[in-house]
Amino acid sequence: MRKQTLPPWAGAAILVAIYCIVTLLLPRPETVKPEGWRLTGLFAATIAGLIIQPIAGGALVLIAVALTIPLAGLTPQKALSGFADPVVWLVLSAFFISSALIRTGLARRIALGFVRMFGKSSLGVCYSLGLTDLCLATIIPSAGARSGGVVMPIVRSVAEIYGSRPGETASRIGSFLMIGVYQAICVSSATLLTAQASNALAARMSLQFLHYPITWLSWARAGIVPGLVSMAIVPWVVYKLYPPDVKHTPEAAAFARKELAAMGRMGRHEWIVCAVFVGVCGMWIFSTLDASVAALLGTGVLLATGVLPWADLAGDRAAWDVFVWYGGLFEIARSLGEAGVTTAFASAVGGALAGYSVFGLFFIALLIYFFAHYGFASITAHTVAMFPAFAVVMYARHVPPGLAAFSLACFGNLCACLTNYGTTPAPMFFAQGYVSFGQWWRIGFLVSLVTLLIWSTVGFAWWKFLGIW
């Protein structure tokens, strides 16, 4: 989530205005009851709030959850039921495990290991850090945590080894690494269910609106081939569009070896986290246990062995913030579907595209869904606002459910490549000052065309091979 950009009073005034415009001025569909329409206004105001951030996202969603009771007629049990969903606890537990990975130094050790192996060229450094992010995405559901805690410090360190700093020396290597690694992070966020907090929400919505179940393993199988192809091509495309002055980087590999030597051998806590990391991923792949149970068991091991002290877990503000806004948004979105709002919106969109064939509608809707991200500063806000309606449109027009589900889920992450505010890591990398606004947007748009091409050819063909559609 972005930092607050408006005074709370100004932001509140905007959100109240949005609610009033929706509920009082926009025509209510005949199939939607008044309380359902008030819920629609509250939802629209909440999504707008997540974009402009007058207050913290968790606080905003908590207020919205409370308001669903007097405004939309939800019972307290119904309004709060999202916090009991297993997927919400899966995300929370994964955050705790990711915290252990970062605090013990194991995540940094993994990153330095990749740089040592592949970091002898500037493109190799970009690949190594992209692979680091993909590896950590198997269990860290926050691209921001991976970037801020592991990847970004190494990107900056490598850039400064070559005297590349914001300004005249940015083009030596820093500019390329900042935007190249960021674009790789967008790919890894689309490749695995645990790579982005809202991916679990997309999986739940897939079951609700498309009647198509998505598990950690099925997403990994679907995403791995187009993900790896993108991971190979996208940094190379950025390299050609925005080439660094420094092409060969033996010092980067030497830096990684030096840092690894300074870290010494893996300690007891690192070995425990490594075992939990492998064990939880193994249960997700091979066990019939619910994914949330496996993650909770992993967290339990970290607590029992003292790797994660309870005080640290209880004080993990980022994890609990995600728990609050994720659980709250999940129930609001589900209630919208039950009130018939999503179906009414989908009918309107479907009517506008009625003259197209099934796959014509599918591709047009997917492009609208993708490029609409120019208006969002959060993958979560984009997913919550648009996934249900577009899923219902595609389901009603008999687009294969698996194709629709994975397209909306994966493309909802890939579209973050477009802007310097599209997801949490974007402002982290852009704020370093190595890349201009115009260059970021230009490269983001060109990369978006490449990723759309890869995922709509290699990806769709791979999904056909797997029997997804």
Q: What was the pLDDT predicted at 139? A: 83
What integer is the mean pLDDT of 154-177?
Answer: 89
Nearest to 1 by CA among 44, 42, 45, 60: 60
Q: Is 115 within 8 Å of 367 (Cβ atoms)?
A: no
Render pLDDT for 340-390 as a digit per residue (tens, 0 to 9).
887 787 777 777 777 788 889 899 999 999 998 887 777 888 888 889 889
Please give the residue range of the domain that contains residue 190.
Answer: 86-202+212-317
Q: Which residue has the higher pLDDT, 251 or 147?
A: 251
What integer is the mean pLDDT of 167-183?
Answer: 93
The CA distance from 112 to 254, in Å, is: 10
What integer is the mean pLDDT of 308-336?
Answer: 85
What integer is the mean pLDDT of 168-195?
Answer: 93
Number of domains the chain is built from: 2
Q: Is residue 221 part of a domain?
A: yes
Residues 173 and 196 placed together within one structural domain of the fold: yes
The CA distance from 333 to 200, in Å, is: 14
Residues 64 and 176 placed together within one structural domain of the fold: no
What integer is the mean pLDDT of 454-460?
Answer: 97
Render pLDDT for 233-249 as a digit per residue (tens, 0 to 9).
999 999 999 999 989 98
Residues 143 and 278 placed together within one structural domain of the fold: yes
Nearest to 435 by CA among 218, 242, 255: 242
Q: Is 322 within 8 Å of 142 (Cβ atoms)?
A: yes
The CA distance from 65 to 42, in Å, is: 9
Give residue 5's pLDDT band: very low, low, confident or very high (50, 70, 90): low
Q: Is residue 255 part of a domain?
A: yes
The CA distance from 58 to 456, in Å, is: 35
Residues 4 and 24 placed together within one structural domain of the fold: yes
**Domain end residue (candidates: 259, 284, 317):** 317
**Domain end residue (candidates: 317, 341, 369):** 317
Q: What was the pLDDT predicted at 351? A: 74
Render pLDDT for 46-102 as a digit per residue (tens, 0 to 9).
888 877 778 887 889 899 999 999 999 999 999 999 898 887 888 788 888 878 888
Render pLDDT for 185-209 as a digit per residue (tens, 0 to 9).
999 999 999 998 889 889 989 998 9
Q: Is residue 341 part of a domain?
A: no
The strand pairing partners of 58, in sequence order, are none
What integer is the mean pLDDT of 265-280?
Answer: 91
Q: Is residue 424 part of a domain?
A: no
The token duo for 384 is 């919550």
The CA distance from 248 to 244, in Å, is: 10
Q: What was the pLDDT predicted at 366? A: 94
Residues 43 and 163 placed together within one structural domain of the fold: no
Residues 69 and 120 placed together within one structural domain of the fold: no
Residues 32 and 174 placed together within one structural domain of the fold: no
**Distance in angstroms between the alpha carbons of the first and the last residue of the chain:** 34
Q: What was the pLDDT predicted at 389? A: 85
Q: Is residue 245 part of a domain?
A: yes
pLDDT of residue 127 exceeding 60, the answer is yes
Question: Residue 26 carries which DSSP code?
Answer: S
Give residue 222's pLDDT band: very low, low, confident or very high (50, 70, 90): very high
Alpha carbon 451 to its chain centroid, in Å, reads 16
Q: What are phi and psi of 248, to 5 degrees?
A: -105, 135
Residues 60 and 114 placed together within one structural domain of the fold: no
The answer for residues whose C-beta is within 8 angstroms of residue 35's C-beta and 6 or more apart is 71, 72, 73, 339
What integer is the mean pLDDT of 426-444?
Answer: 88
The strand pairing partners of 248, in sequence order, are 121
Q: What was the pLDDT predicted at 1? A: 43
Residues 40 and 172 placed together within one structural domain of the fold: no
Residues 235 and 124 placed together within one structural domain of the fold: yes
State the chain's mean pLDDT as an integer. 88
The CA distance from 291 to 93, in Å, is: 10
Report the half-sphere exposure of 295 (CA within 13 A, side-chain side): 22
Q: Which residue has the higher pLDDT, 127 or 318?
A: 127
Prediction pTM value: 0.80
Degrees to nearest 5, angle at CA 274 with 272 and 278? 120
**Domain end residue (candidates: 273, 299, 317):** 317
Q: Is residue 410 part of a domain?
A: no
> Given phi > 0 = left and psi -120 to 50 = alpha, else beta, which region is 196?
beta
List, as one string, the DSSP characters of 328-371.
HHHHHHHHHHHTTHHHHHHHHHHHHTTTS-HHHHHHHHHHHHHH
Give residue 150's pLDDT band: very low, low, confident or very high (50, 70, 90): confident
Q: What was the pLDDT predicted at 277? A: 84
